[in-house]
Amino acid sequence: MSGRTHARACPERTCVGCRQRSARNGLLRVVVVGEHCVPDLRGTLPGRGAYLHPTPTCLELAVRRRAFPRAFRTQGPLGTGELRQAVGGDAPGAPPAQAR
């Protein structure tokens, strides 16, 4: 026997918000388009990617720590409006959703 197992290893990535390692399929890939962070739901957009747990808590931690400009090696702040919609957190300054 060669000692190899038939189970495939799942790649791990680090969340830029909470800095915990998780399986890649449990994280959301984020890329920069222009000056905005956008979610890469299919994982096919070109460029450097950063990974984030798809929770508002991890998104807020990443924004507060200024993790996105550091991860993407860019200068200045990046817009996160589209990313907030994908994660489920409201954009800052947006009125709260009305219950019907």
What digits encode the pLDDT tens for the residues 38-94?
999 998 999 999 999 999 999 999 999 999 999 999 998 899 999 999 998 665 544
Q: By the 8 A CB rule, do 86 and 39 touch?
A: yes
Higher-pLDDT residue of 16, 10: 16
pTM score, whole prediction? 0.78
Strands (E), 1-100: 12-14, 21-23, 28-33, 36-40, 50-52
- Predicted confidence at residue 91, as pLDDT, reads 54
Q: Tell me, what's the pLDDT at 96?
A: 44
Confidence of residue 15 (pLDDT cuts 50, 70, 90): very high
Rounded distance, CA 27 to CA 68, Å?
15
**Does the pLDDT value for residue 16 go beyond 90?**
yes
Task: Give the residue among 36, 74, 42, 67 at the shortest CA–CA distance from 52.
Answer: 67
Q: Is 14 exposed, middle or buried (0-12, 13-18, 19+ CB in 10 A)?
A: middle
34-38 mean pLDDT: 94
